[in-house]
Amino acid sequence: MKSNNSKFPRVIIIGGGFGGIQLAKRLKDKEVEVLMIDRHNYHTFQPLLYQVATGALEADSIAFPLRKIFQHQKNFKFRVANVTQINSESNTISTSIGDFEYDYLVLATGSETNFFGQKEIEHYSMPMKTVPEALNLRSMILQNFEEAVMETDEQVKEALLNFVIVGAGPTGVETAGALAELKKHVLPSDYSELDFSKMKIYLVEGANRVLPPFSEQASRKAQSFLEEMGVDVLTNTMVDQYDGKVISFKDGKTIRTNNVVWSAGVKGAVIPGIDKAQIVRGGRIKTTTYNLIEGYNNIFAIGDVSYMEVEKFPNGHPGVAQVAIQQGQQLGDNLIRLINNEEVKPFDYFDKGSMATVGRNKAVVDLKFWKFQGFFAWLTWMFIHLLFLAGFRNKLVTLMNWIVNYFSQDRGTRLIIRRFNRQTMKEEAEAF
């Protein structure tokens, strides 16, 4: 048992995502001891995972060592561990490296891929929420092309070349666009033995338009960008089954494919020990307006894993980085207020807008009073993503890659560093 020997209360933050980092930073130089626990020793910049999966960026340029962020924060400690249980009656958590006592506990665990209970789809399709998952997807795509070159059965070859991306949120749209660019500019010269007119990219969405949370103008434009680039967009289409070879939809349509990317939904990454009555839609945990989990007096949830119903957001806040960032900052201030017996302030989300990129010179940006698409939107998207990417080295390397990719129309990291193997991938994910 790691007790708190400091004279200050101990705040344990589970998760080093956007929310956890902001919260910990906000507690700098305050009279608390901060302990952050994450399964990884790095922060993942999830918005760019799709560029890792499609060979445009190195994994290492969108991951940033968590210890480095807090090098100069004296009241901060970090541990790499898997948290297995919250024991609220004893104010402790159980982890893969032992138990820890807390005075305040913050769940900043984010979200995980939601397969809606469909085990077969979970087994055969590729999620993309972590760096290892993005690298697995990159390897799988390239291995399937290597296999297609050798394949003589036309149907099997077709399945190796076809891609189906399920879910047309920003991740789905961006992945489909990046694959279309690979198909147009990169793959034909790498695999001159293959007929690329046979490679199809399908983007499948259950709603009636791509980017459902965006403005209709952005949706329309994103869809026309995708279609220009050769992506088949299937809206109002729900997946029925996928057995690793053929994906079938509720409307009876089927597509032969070995490559299904699953970006159709997320659910809160909940740790056992939280009262199940507080876990609501999307596996998120119900909190008060200052992120306290209902029914507890010292356990909080922020970001994707939290569910806060307010007038402006009757179904909870969107699962985006900005909500996590702002909740982390706000909770940091509120924790200090709580400790000082001051009144806490309710969270009020300031929506800075949304954006998604489809391809070269093609992006959509929705701001509150201004919606624009095309080249300037694409520049804005790049600028904002560079701005939020942690660390000078990462920004610089990412910018260099983008410049080279832009002028060469190439994607330099099409490497199978570790072979993808469905079995070992699943074991690896479960082991930790």
Q: How many CB atoms lie within 10 A of CB 43?
A: 22
Residue of 45, 34, 43 lying closest to 16 (CA atoms): 43
Q: How far is the CB of 125 from a second copy (least distance, A)?
A: 21
Q: How far apart are CA 286 and CA 292, in angstroms?
A: 8
Residue 41 as a binder of a second copy (CB under 8 A): the answer is yes
Closest distance between a second copy and the C-beta of residue 206, in Å? 33
Question: Considering 133, 158, 174, 181, which one is annotated as catalytic?
Answer: 174
Does 101 interact with a second copy (rule: CB under 8 A)? Answer: no
One residue of 135, 210, 222, 293 binding a second copy per CB under 8 A: 135
Q: What is the Cα–Cα distance from 114 to 164, expressed in whole angstroms? A: 17
Contact call for residue 419 and a second copy (CB under 8 A): yes
Q: Among residue numbers 379 through 398, which ones bind a second copy (CB under 8 A)?
A: 391-394, 396-397
Cα dist from 356 to 47, 100, 244, 274, 385, whole Å: 9, 40, 29, 35, 11
- Tell me the residue length of the chain: 432
Residue type, 400: M
Contacts (CB under 8 A) with a second copy, residues 176-205: 189-191, 193
Residue identified by tokens 């999966």 is 53
432 scored as a contact of a second copy (CB under 8 A): yes
Q: Which tokens is 223 given?
A: 């869809």
For residue 414, the minimal CB distance to a second copy (Å) is 5
Q: Which is nearer to a second copy, 238 or 396 (CB)?
A: 396
Determine, following the binding rule CB under 8 A, whether residue 3 of this chain makes contact with a second copy: no
Of 310 and 396, CB closest to a second copy = 396
- The Cα 358–Cα 144 span in angstroms is 24
Q: Which stretch binds a second copy (CB under 8 A): 110-118, 212-220, 310-318, 414-422?
A: 414-422
CB 62 within 8 Å of CB 44: yes
Binding mask 46-85 for a second copy (x = CB under 8 A): ------------xxxx-x-x-xx--xx----x-xx-----
Contact pick of 31, 97, 250, 295 for a second copy (by CB under 8 A): 97
Based on CB atoms, which residue is closest to a second copy, 92 or 223?
92
State in angstroms the smallest separation of the CB of 345 from a second copy: 33
Instruction: Identify which of residues 41 and 329 has a Cβ nearer to a second copy in the complex.
Output: 41
User: 132 or 265: whose CB is closer to a second copy?
Assistant: 132
Contacting range for a second copy; rule: CB under 8 A; set: 15-23, 105-113, 377-385, 415-423: 415-423
Stretch of residues binding a second copy (CB under 8 A), selected from 34-42, 119-127, 160-168, 352-360: 34-42
Asked whether the beta carbons of 104 and 9 are under 8 A apart, the reply is: yes
133 labelled catalytic: no
- State in angstroms the smallest separation of the CB of 405 from a second copy: 8
Q: Which is nearer to a second copy, 62 or 233 (CB)?
A: 62
Count the site residues for a second copy by CB under 8 A: 54
Contacts of 33 (CB under 8 A, 6+ apart): 4, 6, 8, 9, 10, 11, 75, 77
Q: Which residue's CB is nearer to a second copy, number 67 or number 352?
A: 67
* Min separation Cβ 162 and a second copy, Å: 21
What are 138's two structure tokens? 């990159």
Contact with a second copy (CB under 8 A) among 89, 119, 150, 153: 150
Of the candidates 224, 181, 215, the one whose C-alpha atom is nearest the C-alpha of residue 199 is 181
Phi, psi of 262 (to 5 degrees): -105, 105
Instruction: Report if residue 142 touches a second copy, rule: CB under 8 A.
Output: yes
Q: Would you tell me which residues interact with a second copy (CB under 8 A)?
A: 40-42, 58-61, 63, 65, 67-68, 71-72, 77, 79-80, 97-98, 131-132, 135, 142-143, 146, 149-150, 189-191, 193, 391-394, 396-397, 400-401, 404, 408, 410, 412-419, 421, 424, 428, 431-432
Residues designated as active site: 174
